[in-house]
Each structure stands twice: as structure tokens, then as C-alpha cells.
Structure 1
């Protein structure tokens, strides 16, 4: 597993996640989608050794991104954008990636969390709870992206366990995910999560 921070960086193996800081602050879904797509095309062109124009990202009927250009049948992709950072995940099996902004003043969406997650968050110090929640929620989003369901699978219906600052698991699923924390320009902290699932 590789975390990369530059569009020019290439991964020696998969899975890999590029976390690209941009100066852009998309104001709506159209702008976020454009920023994700353009950044992903540049990252993948570098990784796959082809011109940007040959990298085609399409979407399945559920809106899941698909690599339709080079290596389309061999690689899975997932994308996320938050606070001007674009995450591009690439793997040989279904993959999900997400980014969440750490909000020290944000309330917990208790109704959207599994009872086990609520117990975990309630048991930790208030000062560390916002980062723990951002990691947990990024992990939940990454998982449903890897499944291809999005939150058609209710977020409270499954539990994330934070195993370490850099690892998580979905309870009852034989796959561990990876976590990464980044400071975006020293002003914002974001939690990134990535998980790769078996094909079956």
C-alpha cells in the first residue's frame, strides 16, 4: 500500500492512493466533479505512461467511477475531494477512498452511527473525538464506495473499528483498511481512508 502526494509520483505496486493538494475550492458538485476528474486523469496518465487524453474515466449506472481507458479491465479506481484535496485510489480489486475534514466544533451524527461506534467515540477524550470521528466516517464512506452501493447501505448498519492511527476494519469483513492524516496548508486537518475488497 502506498500513499503518494504528487501528481508526478508513480506507485511501484497497487493498491496506491494519491492525495493531491490543489489551490482550488470547488463551490458545487459540478466543480468538485471536474476537479476530481482532471486531477485523476493527470495522476493516471503519469502512472500508466500515456497522454492525459487517453485516460477515460466513465461511471457505472450507480455513479461509481470506472477506468475506461488503458488497463480498464485490470484496475479499479475510486475518487474523493475535500477542502481542495483530491484522492485518487487505484487497485487490482474493488477499492474505495474517502476524505473527511476534521471539524472540532461539528456535532456527531449519532443517528448515522452504529451502536459500537458510538460507544467507542463516547469513551474517548473530547479533544480527540473530532479526528477519531473523521477517520471513522472516512472509513465508512470508503467501504460503501468499494462495495459500489454508496449509502444505499445505511451507515448505521455496519461498524468500523479503528485499530490504530493508520488502520481500520469493517466488523465482519475479512479486509483491513488504511488511514492517513494530512494537514492541508497547515490550516485544516483531513482524514483519508482506503480499503480494498475481495472480488467475491
Structure 2
């Protein structure tokens, strides 16, 4: 997995871009527009094409897809948090998510798999907000890669944080080796963001 922080072409795929836009979108429509335009710029650079020929649409489940140019075989996923746009591109189904670390908030343990709750409670209390953000970003990325979103119950599968940069997903409905990558991004020195990406297949 290649991680990039500027809208330039990646040397190979899969790749994930974490772009600090400096924008403060006020609502869902503005966040969607920011995601889409940032992604179009990156995809244009990746394919060596003018941005005008890049069209992003959504399938019936709301998952983004590259409608034009057709036939690239690329899968994409998008996320936005605190003005940072995440784009993942791969040759297989992919999901990406970014979550803000909330150092003063108690993690909502009730929405987690029992294994995840146990792992979080085993950590010192100050370490739990970051671990929760990493877990939740991984869970969001995984259901995006599946194409289900949280039509899947978040407690129905378990994420294990294997290291600072890797995690695994145990899912009884998808009995394959599901591995993912994560990063922590400092956003302008004001906050920390946890990013995660999963590529299926």
C-alpha cells in the first residue's frame, strides 16, 4: 500500500491519498463535493488525463465508482473528516475511512464486538480514544470494501489492531484473510486523525 499526502500519481496501486484541503465543509452536500472534486483531481493525475474527463458516480448501494473513463478496472473509496479527504484506489474492492481522535470522549464500547471491547478495556484509559478511532476507521473501511456499509451490524465482526500500521478483520460471513493498513495523521497540529484502508481479494 502506497500512502500519499499530495494529489500526485502513485507509483503503483493500491494506494491511499490523505489530502489536507484546509476546507471546513458545513454540511453533507459540501463534504460530498469536496470529496468528489479532490478525488477527480487525483484520479486525473493517476491516469494522466484532464480532470474534465473524470466522472464519479455511485452504485445502487451508494458506493462511489469511476463512471468515466470506462473500463479502467479501478475500484475507489472516499472519506472526509476535518477537511481531510481520503481516496483509496485499487484493482479490487477497497474501502477507506478517516476518524477524528477524541481524547476527552469515552469510547462508545456498546457498539463494538466483544473482542474489541475487551482489547480496549485492557489498555490504559488515556490510550483508548486513539485505539477506538483506529478500530472504528478499520470497521468503516471494511464495510465500505464489502459494499454493505453499516447495513452490517458493527458488532458482527471483529477488528484486531496487530501493530501501529496493520490490522486484521475476523468475519464469519467472509472467511478469507482480511488484512488492512492504518495511519495516524496530524492535521495542522490541531488534531489527530486515524485512517484505515482494506482491499478485498
TM over 0.5: yes
Residue in structure 2 matching 1:176, options 174, 179, 183: 179
Gaps of 5+ in 1: none
The one-character-per-residue Cα deviations of 1:79-126 (angstroms, maximum 9, x if unpaired) are: 000000000100000000000000012222222100000000000011
Gaps of 5+ in 2: none
CA distance in 2, matches of 1:191, 1:108: 14
Backbone CA RMSD of aligned residues: 1.0
**What does 1:1-200 correspond to in 2, within 5 Å?**
1-7=1-7, 9-70=8-69, 72-172=71-171, 173-198=176-201
Greater Cα offset, 78-87 or 65-74: 65-74
Q: Contact 1:48–1:70 at 8 Å: present in 2 too?
A: no
CA distance in 2, matches of 1:190, 1:153: 24
Corresponding residue pairs, total: 197
Q: How far apart are 1:72 and its partner, in Å?
A: 4.1
Q: Which runs of 4+ in 1 moved over 4 A?
A: none
SS of the aligned residue for 1:137 comes to: helix
CA distance in 1, matches of 2:182, 2:61: 26
The one-character-per-residue Cα deviations of 1:21-60 (angstroms, maximum 9, x if unpaired) are: 0111111100000000000001111111001111110100
Q: TM-score, normalised by structure 1?
A: 0.96
